[in-house]
Structure 1
Amino acid sequence: MKDHAPPHASHARRGPLERGRSSTSPWPDAPVLVEVWRSGFLESVHRGAVVVVDPGGAVTWSAGDVGRPVLPRSANKPVQATTYLAAGWRPRSGVELAVAAGSHAGEDGHRDTAAGILAAAGLDPSALGCPAALPGHEPTRAAWLVAGRAPERLAMNCSGKHAAMLAACVAAGWPTDGYLQPEHPLQQAIEARLSAAAGEPVAAVVVDGCGAPQHGLSLTGLARGVGSLVAAPPGSPERAVADAVRAHPWYVAGTGREDTDLMTAVPGLLVKGGADGVHVAALPGRGAVAFKLDDGGDRGRAPVLAAALRRLGVGEDVLAPWATTPVTGGDGVVGEVRPAAPLAG
């Protein structure tokens, strides 16, 4: 396979990321958003920041510093995907656009769709610049391990994004070599689009886990950007991405995964998670939410997301499977992971 050099770490813009830092701590103080209770004992907490914006992007509620830049990671993907369409890529189906905006689990249909995007552009998986990986879907990964199958680039959760990036380069007449470099025309267009959607300058450009440039934004900007997709007029690239993601949620995440299940349960909802504790969601006519858990873990995601979505008017009965998660002890449930004040209010 052909290797592509990732963007160099020197492209990081360090200044804005230093906001809120004291001389004694590299991280600002943040409120407790999630509590972990075991047998009536408060065992752990998860701190972070969360914001709710209305359909026009105005902040209606927040906790923590929602103006400080964070790295949205894959939560940037839906807005990024609008750039591929603007560059001239014409996906053959909504499924292809959904996988381009998603973080799939490496199931057969996910890999086949990414491979189809490449083939339609006259490329093959050797063009991908993302690293090889085993599927994230547990049964699929287990079958690969039993068969002795090696990691593949198509199985990496960002292969849909990379395939669409390459297809966009072909459509626009840009070189595919070096497509991950920040100076490449595609990456320049992505940065400009993320900034415009967020209504603020990109605070940093660093190297993401998949090797592509990753762009720092505030949680408020992240929520505004994804909210703009569901509010966009029909026929626009923004609305095309929003419609594809919501119509084909399995291609955004996969079997049994949070984003897929939430979009299936809540009509009109767009949800996209990112690594290291970031999540964003938007509902047309209601607004959008975004949050970052300071510890970067997954355990507190569902309760925060459910509590934030209640502030957009999603019913508690619909959100019940995500509102709390069980804490087990022995063969039984002995506690729960639940939202803390102020989210619980």
Structure 2
Amino acid sequence: MTSSTPPGARDRPGGPPAWPDAPVLVEVVRSGFLESVHRGAVVVVGPDGEVRWSAGDVTRTVLPRSANKPVQATTYLASGWRPGSGEELAIAAGSHVGEDGHRDRAAGILAAAGLEPTALGCPPALPGHEPTRAAWLVAGREPERLAFNCSGKHAAMLATCVAAGWPTEGYLDPQHPLQQAIEARLAAAAGEPVAAVVVDGCGAPQHGLSLTGLARGVGSLVAAPEGTPERSVADAMRAHPWYVAGTGREDTDLMAAVPGLLVKGGADGVHVAALPGLGAVALKLDDGGDRGRTPVLAAALGRLGVDAGALSRWASTPVTGGDGVVGVVRPSAVLTG
């Protein structure tokens, strides 16, 4: 399927491939002192999927992680799954935090397909939502598969297998018909072949693409005609952002703040967003951290034409010292210049 060396990387004799050089995208300033930086790559594509602006190598293979979920979810609809509500479709494409409504919705997807939570292939987890997790710990409640942040995706995968007449056993095997269909759909949406297939944190196959391909794929969802699987996923996510992420999370709040915006974060420093008529952006921070993602995302969306006022909350984040704010996490001149 793939080479272990990502395109754009330099080989080190006798060792693994070196990480490619990348520009500084984020600066962390404390009391006027440049304390840290975050390097990475970011791409802006237009409605036609063509690159309008980029920084860093946006052609090399990255792992989009959960940023692949929106396009993945179109496979479920195309394969015959009929969700009972927009909320079910949104959580199928989401990364929730295990709040009560999240777990109930994922359980409902399974029940409608005649399945129990024991069928889920994702690992047991405590809720990511802090108040919910604290209540579980006080009550001595054990981790559950439904609380894992990808349980909505897994529930929809299983329901799709039932709808399509595919076996639910082995549904996470890369050679399973469902996973083959997902891989083909990701490649078609990105306009490039999947360049790597690895195991994601939830146990499902994870498919490597370039940042440009990731942006094209998610951008195609908001540009699709009404009634198509692509548009249905985009509409469900934008109508029900709480099921995509959860209370107080960036994706939830960004979609509520910017009409028409579709946003999906992924683990290890990935984010993708799209707006109909404008295009899409995708980014990857090399260190895999979350701290610098939203300043880069906001700056890239600004280059796409989104009003800066709507993005002001995410354009920078404060650095604290004692009881006060002493600095800022901000996009670098690469993005703002």
Corresponding residue SS for 2:277: coil
**Contact (CA 8 Å) 1:117, 1:163: kept in 2 or not?**
yes
Corresponding residue SS for 2:108: helix
AA partner of residue 2 (structure 2): R
Matched residue, 1:28: 20
Q: Residue 59 of structure 1 is aligned with which of 38, 51, 69?
A: 51
Q: Deviations over 1:203-240 (max 9, x none)?
A: 00000000000000000000000000000000100000
Matched, 1:262 2:254: yes
Residues 18, 232 of structure 1: alpha-carbon distance in 2 compared, 3 angstrom cutoff:
closer
Matched residue, 2:331: 339
The 2-side partners of 1:83 and 1:120 are apart by: 18
Matched, 1:297 2:289: yes
Q: Residue 112 of structure 1 is aligned with which of 77, 82, 104?
A: 104
The 2-side partners of 1:104 and 1:14 are apart by: 32
AA partner of residue 119 (structure 2): A
Matched residue, 2:269: 277
Q: Deviations over 1:239-258 (max 9, x none)?
A: 00000000000000000000
Q: Deviations over 1:238-286 (max 9, x none)?
A: 0000000000000000000000000000000000000000000000000
Q: Residue 40 of structure 1 is aligned with which of 32, 42, 52?
A: 32
AA partner of residue 266 (structure 2): G
AA partner of residue 45 (structure 1): V
Corresponding residue SS for 1:335: strand
1:172, CA displacement in angstroms?
0.1
Q: Deviations over 1:278-304 (max 9, x none)?
A: 000000000000000000000001100
Matched, 1:17 2:6: yes
The 1-side partners of 2:115 and 2:80 are apart by: 16
Across the two proteins, how many residue pairs are aligned to each other?
334
The 1-side partners of 2:65 and 2:224 are apart by: 23
Matched residue, 1:98: 90
1:125-274 equivalent positions in 2, closer than 5 A: 125-274=117-266
Q: Report the TM-score, using the length of structure 2 for normalisation.
A: 0.98
The 1-side partners of 2:35 and 2:212 are apart by: 30
1:20, CA displacement in angstroms?
2.2
Q: Share of identical aligned residues, percent?
A: 83
Structure 1 residue ranges (4+ consecutive) displaced by more than 4 angstroms after TM superposition: none
The 2-side partners of 1:37 and 1:98 are apart by: 37
**Contact (CA 8 Å) 2:7, 2:59: kept in 1 or not?**
no
**Contact (CA 8 Å) 2:215, 2:273: kept in 1 or not?**
yes
* Contiguous gaps of at least 5 residues in structure 1: 1-11
The 2-side partners of 1:68 and 1:341 are apart by: 23
Q: Report the TM-score, using the length of structure 1 for normalisation.
A: 0.96
